[in-house]
Amino acid sequence: MALQMQIIPVTPFQQNAALLWDDVNKDAVLTDVGGEADRLLGAVAKHQLKLQAIWLTHGHLDHVSGVADLIARQAVPVLGPNQADDYWLQALPEVTANYGFPVCQALTPTRWLQDGDELTVGEHTFIVYHVPGHTPGHVVFYSQANSLLIAGDVLFRESIGRTDFPGGNHHDLIQGIQSKLFTLPDDTRVLSGHGFMTTIGHEKAHNPFLR
Ligand SMILES: [Zn+2]
């Protein structure tokens, strides 16, 4: 059995939404439904998957503003981020209007996530790590068996998340990456919220923000 992944960049910000599925029982989840619910549900249908949940890394509009539209068409639980990002989710009507996104309503997830929570897609388990700094409630999802980290806007190829938004904290971000992500195996594949994939080993060696 294998975990499959399709990366689907959404919104003008080209945010990497991911469709993850277990290719044996066809259970699937979508991460960071930033927009374009039609396209995301189209991918679910194309692979004949059973969508079980939406997982959210953090409350920024390009990661969450397609959720209301998607769950109106297909009711699935929304898991994450950590509750410290509630102020971002409640601000969605203003934030989406300010950025010229389709205006969406405030969002309250089905369940907030905590450091150490375990989520599953079919037979595959992901551990939740709470890594504040880009936003205070940012979480990431790690599957040891699949050497895969869904990193949102914490860590990018040779870069890190911005910390200049309200609630951002550079020190917390660096601390969280060093203590929670750089302790993962070097061959861990990292799917960031934007841009190319990388690995933990590559970032330890080449990320200029983490020397
Ligand atoms: Zn963000």
Measure 138 CA to ligand 1 centroid, in angstroms.
9
pLDDT at 81 over 80: yes
Q: Can you tell me the mean pLDDT for 83-107?
A: 96
How high does pLDDT run on average in the chain? 97
Q: How far is CA 28 from CA 11, 39, 41, 122, 187, in A?
A: 21, 15, 11, 7, 24
Q: What is the pLDDT of residue 169?
A: 98
Residue 24: pLDDT band with limits 50, 70, 90: very high
- CATH code of 145's domain: 3.60.15.10
Q: What is the pLDDT of residue 50?
A: 98
Q: What is the pLDDT of residue 28?
A: 98
Residue 122: pLDDT band with limits 50, 70, 90: very high
Measure 64 CA to ligand 1 centroid, in angstroms.
10
Contact of 153 with 186, CB cutoff 8 Å: no
By the CB criterion, residues less than 5 angstroms from ion ligand 1 are 60, 153
> What pLDDT, in 10s, does the model give residues 2-13?
999 999 999 999
CA-CA-CA-CA torsion for 37, 95, 136, 36, nearest 10 degrees? 10
Measure 25 CA to ligand 1 centroid, in angstroms.
32
How many domains is the chain partitioned into structurally? 1
> What pLDDT, in 10s, does the model give residues 172-195?
999 999 999 999 999 999 999 999
Structural domain boundaries, residue 40? 3-210
Measure 109 CA to ligand 1 centroid, in angstroms.
17
pLDDT at 1 over 80: no
pLDDT at 208 over 80: yes
Q: What is the pLDDT of residue 25?
A: 96
> What pLDDT, in 10s, does the model give residues 125-138?
999 999 999 999 99
> What pLDDT, in 10s, does the model give residues 32-66?
999 999 999 999 999 999 999 999 999 999 999 99
Q: What is the pLDDT of residue 211?
A: 82
How are beta strands 148-152 and 189-192 bridged, if at all? parallel
Q: What is the pLDDT of residue 135?
A: 98
Q: Can you tell me the mean pLDDT for 82-105?
A: 96
Measure 182 CA to ligand 1 centroid, in angstroms.
20
Phi, psi angles (nearest 5°) of residue 9 = -65, 130
Residue 145: closest CA among 128, 124, 127, 130: 124
Measure 74 CA to ligand 1 centroid, in angstroms.
25
